[in-house]
Structure 1
């Protein structure tokens, strides 16, 4: 059953999506309410799985990495859950998304800034998967905007 969230919950989510470091006091000030109300709502949103994770967006270039997105198409009938489990166990894989459209899976990986290493990692990842028909590779040069709400 889908959980009901209201405008207040959405305001909390939007503020945290812009800055996950905001504390209860700061959120309460922005929203014109009490820390206790914010605390109760956040606990509810976390408990119900609406807020899954608090995170950061690092500058991969400054860290010496390349951010790559793989669009993977597998043969129809190939069990995606098995493929997803294989991908989830790779430390270079940062995001795995099921998709409808050109690709069945969209996979975000982080690899050192060395094209031979990039090629090796892509070959390694896709080689473990079954029935891969096609892989499209996209190199991300900059995250210009990242906003989920």
Structure 2
């Protein structure tokens, strides 16, 4: 049972997904368990690799990054995906990279300050990566939701 997740673990994950900085005492109170149990279970889930850390949820538009763009990338040769992904990871505005199946070989998420910033990023940083055959861009007009799975539902 040490390497399996149960309902208590799922309750802890659901609470921490909403607020990763919630104190263990508050998690315990809301879950109806002891703080020691929260600590022990959280440590177990970290050791299992289920919990990889805690992150901040940022509103990039309030920091001057007004554009969110998704790019579907076609490669010249499919075996180049690792090299291209490593090069994409060097671009600070690229925040997500997925090796994907289907129409695109790689799918990425980029934040840019405005259309000029995006154009420069696209033309000077992304299109110049060796191995990229083509790109389709999708500009996000609004992010309505970003969440984790509700494990209790």
1:118 matched to 2:118? The reply is yes
Q: Note if contact 1:86-1:128 (Cα within 8 Å) is conserved in structure 2.
A: no
Q: Which residue of 2 aligns with 1:90?
A: 91
Q: Note if contact 2:97-2:108 (Cα within 8 Å) is conserved in structure 1.
A: yes
Q: Note if contact 2:80-2:131 (Cα within 8 Å) is conserved in structure 1.
A: no
Whole-angstrom distance in 2 between the partners of 1:91 and 1:53: 20
Q: Note if contact 1:93-1:108 (Cα within 8 Å) is conserved in structure 2.
A: yes
Q: Which residue of 1 aligns with 2:52?
A: 52
Q: Which residue of 2 aligns with 1:31?
A: 31
C-alpha deviation, 1:119, in angstroms: 0.7
After TM superposition, where is structure 1 displaced by more than 6 Å over at least 4 residues in a row?
A: none
Q: Which runs of 5+ in 2 are unaligned?
A: none
Q: Note if contact 2:71-2:107 (Cα within 8 Å) is conserved in structure 1.
A: yes
TM-score when scaled to structure 1?
0.87
Whole-angstrom distance in 2 between the partners of 1:128 and 1:12: 44
Q: Which residue of 2 aligns with 1:4?
A: 4
Q: Note if contact 2:69-2:111 (Cα within 8 Å) is conserved in structure 1.
A: yes
Aligned length: 146
Whole-angstrom distance in 2 between the partners of 1:88 and 1:8: 36
Whole-angstrom distance in 2 between the partners of 1:131 and 1:82: 8
Q: Which runs of 5+ in 1 are unaligned?
A: none
C-alpha deviation, 1:129, in angstroms: 2.6
